[in-house]
């Protein structure tokens, strides 16, 4: 095999040539046969759309890998990416080719059987875009339609690439690139249109979803999920008909920061009912008091909205968290199903938004069928079955005092896909428990140089640098794979993991459920009992959901391994901090025995700085660091290993070197912009003073031991 035996650049060229040949053959056979490459078979044996099937159940009919032989699963091939940033993509397999996306919106095509790289497309996302992204430079995957691959890039473009060669057919800018919009979600193809959303509600944008012609990239319709002030008039968009009813649920200068409501993940096509269901995100800013004077439901924040699948016109909505003030997005994956409830076959959608409730909603009209908390939560005691509204706990809105909320902003369930098996009738949900201290910003001013949550992140800075105290906090965090019966709204079984932020789920007709963990372990469970049947240590944290496909009589299971994302970069608890290895795409088969080795890297030593700074300056540095820098580099200087641990950075030794990077932006290409627009030279130096102090105390602690 070429990979592993040749240097990367040369390898890439050789494989590209080989790839073009293989693809030319595949393409030719597709054209030669009226049914394509066994189209009817391939619909069942491949993974052609984001959620496996249009209903996005992430359940495969394949049975070659089953409870009896899964213990023999081993790596058939893998591909190592050239960086260690987070990987969240669900790959596609179409006509024998595996398509996936990596960090910085790169797109890759592989021979799904051998792992040979067929092509690679670098959309050249400017490094400074990373600063706009709340949650790492991730991408959750491509869409395929009729010989084209569609990908949303971090800087807001929608690309149509040739599936054969990776060459660009067309590109459309889907956002105002002067604003902090990003795109990380997978587009979906619906009736000859590519439907795509965006993100950015942490920084200040107005959410919407757009549809573009698959052939030309021309905009066909757009639906804004939140209103503008009435003085600004209608948008000339399909959402205009809803503007007045949306505005009636907002108050004050609500569109100062765009209002939020970004559609950054779930977009599901319900072809049966001719509608698209979109999941809408949190408000911007988070704090309802700052956003809307604490008044109103703020439609369509934290809702599912059903739109006509031809025109984008509004049909119905269900709002799980009216007047959201906790970052409780309802963008989480949506699964469509038909369930027999009280003897009646119901067309439902199922979803577990961040707020912790498992919702079963009638997708013919958006009415609530049932909702129960899937993990212990403390912001609400339940959902009122008549009104569909949560029964909130007094104080949860932190009007007068901080509220330690569970779930917090990372949610009881985040973007990590869940799966539904019609065989067992169970939904397998990657859940988590992690609190967050909600505290209003007493003097909130809109900032371009920091997140605009309206909630003071400083309240979440760690109280102590001692390992014992950190462990005590880590012990309050947990994650579980929960098998949930959506008809009875009860738990069938659960497997508890060491911490939160574990991978998405795949279910198969072989009676298996697959899930990777933040620790890097990859597991197969019996889908009926939760009994662990197989594991493999990838040595790389896994967040993404696995897929499965069948080629030439062999069933494969593929997963993207690469740790990061919002929680992954901002918290040091997942494992012993060490520099993360590069991400990989790993593909397994029965008796797979390809070589798999990951070298563990170590952090360099703490840097000793002899300069002494005034105490007030160190305190200034602490506030700046913990409010802004810690979201990537980790609280109290402890990196999770995705981004550099600044206490060990040689830049720390020199005021000039530090300023060149932190103030002037020397490393902008890698995503570290300079902060000269927002911070003074003295403030940048104060951050160095704070980090140097953290390093000095870490050195003292290690000599004390």
Query: Are 210 and 224 spatial neighbours (Cβ–Cβ below 8 Å)?
Result: no
Among 278-286, 380-388, 426-434, 629-637, the segment contacting Ca ion (CB under 5 A):
278-286
Residue 327 a catalytic site member: yes
Residue closer to Ca ion (CB basis): 282 or 571:
282
Minimal distance, residue 135 CB to Ca ion, in Å: 8
Burial of 512 per CB tally in 10 Å (0-12, 13-18, 19+): buried
- Sheet order of strands, 143-145 included: 143-145, 148-152, 157-162, 168-173
Residue closer to Ca ion (CB basis): 451 or 693:
451
Among 4-12, 263-271, 326-334, 352-360, the segment contacting Ca ion (CB under 5 A):
326-334
Q: What gap in Å lies between CA 631 and CA 639, rounded to an integer? A: 10
Residue closer to Ca ion (CB basis): 111 or 265:
265
Minimal distance, residue 99 CB to Ca ion, in Å: 28
Residue closer to Ca ion (CB basis): 116 or 207:
207
Minimal distance, residue 329 CB to Ca ion, in Å: 5
Q: Check 255, 270, 327, 456 and give the catalytic one.
A: 327
Residue closer to Ca ion (CB basis): 175 or 551:
175
Write out the binding residues for Ca ion, residues 156-185 only, by CB under 5 A. Answer: none
Among 33-41, 148-156, 228-236, 320-328, the segment contacting Ca ion (CB under 5 A):
320-328
Residue closer to Ca ion (CB basis): 83 or 460:
460
Rg (the chain; Cα; Å): 24
Q: What gap in Å lies between CA 287 and CA 615, rounded to an integer? A: 32
Q: x/- site string to Ca ion, residues 225 to 264, per CB under 5 A? A: ----------------------------------------
- Kindly state whether residue 282 participates in binding Ca ion, applying the rule CB under 5 A: yes
Query: Are 588 and 557 spatial neighbours (Cβ–Cβ below 8 Å)?
Result: yes
- Kindly state whether residue 42 participates in binding Ca ion, applying the rule CB under 5 A: no
Q: What gap in Å lies between CA 434 and CA 406, rounded to an integer? A: 6
Buried b (16+ CB within 10 A) or exposed e, 54-84: bbbbbbbbbebbbbeebeebebbbbbbbebb
Minimal distance, residue 50 CB to Ca ion, in Å: 21
Buried b (16+ CB within 10 A) or exposed e, 605-635: ebbebeeebeeebbebbbbbbbbbbbbbbbb
- Kindly state whether residue 136 participates in binding Ca ion, applying the rule CB under 5 A: no
Q: Quick one: tokens of 367? A: 């009415």
Residue closer to Ca ion (CB basis): 282 or 519:
282
Q: What gap in Å lies between CA 649 and CA 646, rounded to an integer? A: 5
Minimal distance, residue 137 CB to Ca ion, in Å: 16
Write out the binding residues for Ca ion, residues 551-570 only, by CB under 5 A. Answer: none
Residue closer to Ca ion (CB basis): 302 or 630:
302
Q: What gap in Å lies between CA 625 and CA 694, rounded to an integer? A: 11
| DSSP letter string, 613-635 | --HHHHHHHHHHIIIIIHHHH-G
Minimal distance, residue 537 CB to Ca ion, in Å: 32
Minimal distance, residue 90 CB to Ca ion, in Å: 20
Query: Are 143 and 194 spatial neighbours (Cβ–Cβ below 8 Å)?
Result: yes
Residue closer to Ca ion (CB basis): 193 or 282:
282
Minimal distance, residue 408 CB to Ca ion, in Å: 11
> Which residue's entry shows tokens 């949506």?
334
CA distances from 24 to 407, 419, 629 (A): 50, 35, 48
Cα-based torsion angle of the residue sequence 31, 35, 39, 40 in order, rounded to the nearest 10 degrees: 180
Alpha-helical regions (H) of 368-508:
467-474
Nearest to 426 by CA among 516, 534, 544, 337: 337
- Kindly state whether residue 327 participates in binding Ca ion, applying the rule CB under 5 A: yes
Other Cβ atoms within 10 Å of 169 Cβ, number: 18
3-state secondary structure of 690: helix
Residue closer to Ca ion (CB basis): 153 or 282:
282
Minimal distance, residue 377 CB to Ca ion, in Å: 18
Q: Quick one: tokens of 616? A: 């007030």
Number of residues located near Ca ion, criterion CB under 5 A: 2
CA distances from 554 to 63, 117, 589 (A): 11, 20, 7
Minimal distance, residue 503 CB to Ca ion, in Å: 20
Minimal distance, residue 515 CB to Ca ion, in Å: 24
Residue closer to Ca ion (CB basis): 436 or 658:
436
Minimal distance, residue 201 CB to Ca ion, in Å: 5
Residue closer to Ca ion (CB basis): 200 or 312:
200
Q: What gap in Å lies between CA 333 and CA 142, rounded to an integer? A: 16
Q: What gap in Å lies between CA 643 and CA 691, rounded to an integer? A: 15
- Sheet order of strands, 368-373 included: 334-341, 344-351, 357-362, 368-373
Quick one: three-class SS letters along 363-391?
Answer: CCCCCEEEEEECCCCCCEEEECCCCCCEE
The answer for 296, left when phi > 0, alpha when psi is -120 to 50, beta otherwise, is left
The footprint of Ca ion (CB under 5 A) covers 282, 327
| Catalytic residue ranges | 327
């Amino acid at each position: 095999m070429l990979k592993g035996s040749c240097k990367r650049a040369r390898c890439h060229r050789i494989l590209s040539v080989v790839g073009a040949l293989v693809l030319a053959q595949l393409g030719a056979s597709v054209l030669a046969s009226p049914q394509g490459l066994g189209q009817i078979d391939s619909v069942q044996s491949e993974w052609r759309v984001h959620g496996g099937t249009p209903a996005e159940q992430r359940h495969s009919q394949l049975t070659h890998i089953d409870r009896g032989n899964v213990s023999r699963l081993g790596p058939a091939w893998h591909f190592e990416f050239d960086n260690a940033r987070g990987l969240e993509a669900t790959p596609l397999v179409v006509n024998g080719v595996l398509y996936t996306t990596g960090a910085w919106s790169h797109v890759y095509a592989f021979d799904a059987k051998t792992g040979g790289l067929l092509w690679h497309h670098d959309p050249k996302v400017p490094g400074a875009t990373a600063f706009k992204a709340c949650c790492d430079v991730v991408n959750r995957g491509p869409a395929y339609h009729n010989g084209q691959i569609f990908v949303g890039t971090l800087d807001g473009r929608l690309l149509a690439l040739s599936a054969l060669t990776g060459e660009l057919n067309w590109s459309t800018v889907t956002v105002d690139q002067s604003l902090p919009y990003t795109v990380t979600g997978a587009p979906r193809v619906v009736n000859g249109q590519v439907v795509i959303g965006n993100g950015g509600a942490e920084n200040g944008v107005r959410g919407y979803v757009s549809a573009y012609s698959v052939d030309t990239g021309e905009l066909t319709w757009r639906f804004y999920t939140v209103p503008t002030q009435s003085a600004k008039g209608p948008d000339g968009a399909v959402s205009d008909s809803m503007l007045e009813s949306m505005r009636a649920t907002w108050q004050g200068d609500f569109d100062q920061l765009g209002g939020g409501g970004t559609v950054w993940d779930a977009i599901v096509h319900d072809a049966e009912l001719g509608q698209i269901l979109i999941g809408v995100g949190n408000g911007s800013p988070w704090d309802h008091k700052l956003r809307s004077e604490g008044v109103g439901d703020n439609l369509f924040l934290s809702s599912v909205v059903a739109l006509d699948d031809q025109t984008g016109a509004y049909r119905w909505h269900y709002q799980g968290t009216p007047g959201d003030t906790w970052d409780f997005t309802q963008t989480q994956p949506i699964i469509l199903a038909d369930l027999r409830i009280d003897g009646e076959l119901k067309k439902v959608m199922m979803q577990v938004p961040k707020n912790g409730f498992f919702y079963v909603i009638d997708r013919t009209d958006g009415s609530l069928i049932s909702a129960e908390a899937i993990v212990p939560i403390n912001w609400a005691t339940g959902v009122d079955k008549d009104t569909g509204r949560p029964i909130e706990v007094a104080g949860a809105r932190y009007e007068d005092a901080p509220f330690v909320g569970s779930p917090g902003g990372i949610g009881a369930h985040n973007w990590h896909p869940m799966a539904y098996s019609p065989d067992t009738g169970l939904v397998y949900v990657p859940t988590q428990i992690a609190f967050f201290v909600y505290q209003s910003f007493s003097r909130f001013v809109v900032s371009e140089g920091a997140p605009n949550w309206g909630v003071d992140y400083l309240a979440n800075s760690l109280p102590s640098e001692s390992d014992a105290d950190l462990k005590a906090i880590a012990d309050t965090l947990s994650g579980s794979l929960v098998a949930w019966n959506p008809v009875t709204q009860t738990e069938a079984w659960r497997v508890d993991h060491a911490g939160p932020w574990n991978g998405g789920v795949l279910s198969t007709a072989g009676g298996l459920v697959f899930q990777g963990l933040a620790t890097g372990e990859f597991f197969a469970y019996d889908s009926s009992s939760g009994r662990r049947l197989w594991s493999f240590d990838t040595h790389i944290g896994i967040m993404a959901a696995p897929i499965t496909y069948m080629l030439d009589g062999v069933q494969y299971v593929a997963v993207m391994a690469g740790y990061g994302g919002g929680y992954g970069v901002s918290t040091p608890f997942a494992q012993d901090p060490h520099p993360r290895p590069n991400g990989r795409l790993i593909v397994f088969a029965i008796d797979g025995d390809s070589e798999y080795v990951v070298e563990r890297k170590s952090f360099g030593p703490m840097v000793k700085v002899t300069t002494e700074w005034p105490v007030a300056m160190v305190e200034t540095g602490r506030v700046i660091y913990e409010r802004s820098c810690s979201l990537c580099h980790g609280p109290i200087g402890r990196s999770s290993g995705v981004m550099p641990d600044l206490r060990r950075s040689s830049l720390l030794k020199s005021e000039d070197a530090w300023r060149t990077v932190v103030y002037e932006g020397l490393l902008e290409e890698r995503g570290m912009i300079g902060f000269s627009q927002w911070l003074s030279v003295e403030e940048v130096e104060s951050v160095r003073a704070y980090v140097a102090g953290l390093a000095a105390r870490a050195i003292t602690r290690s000599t004390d031991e």
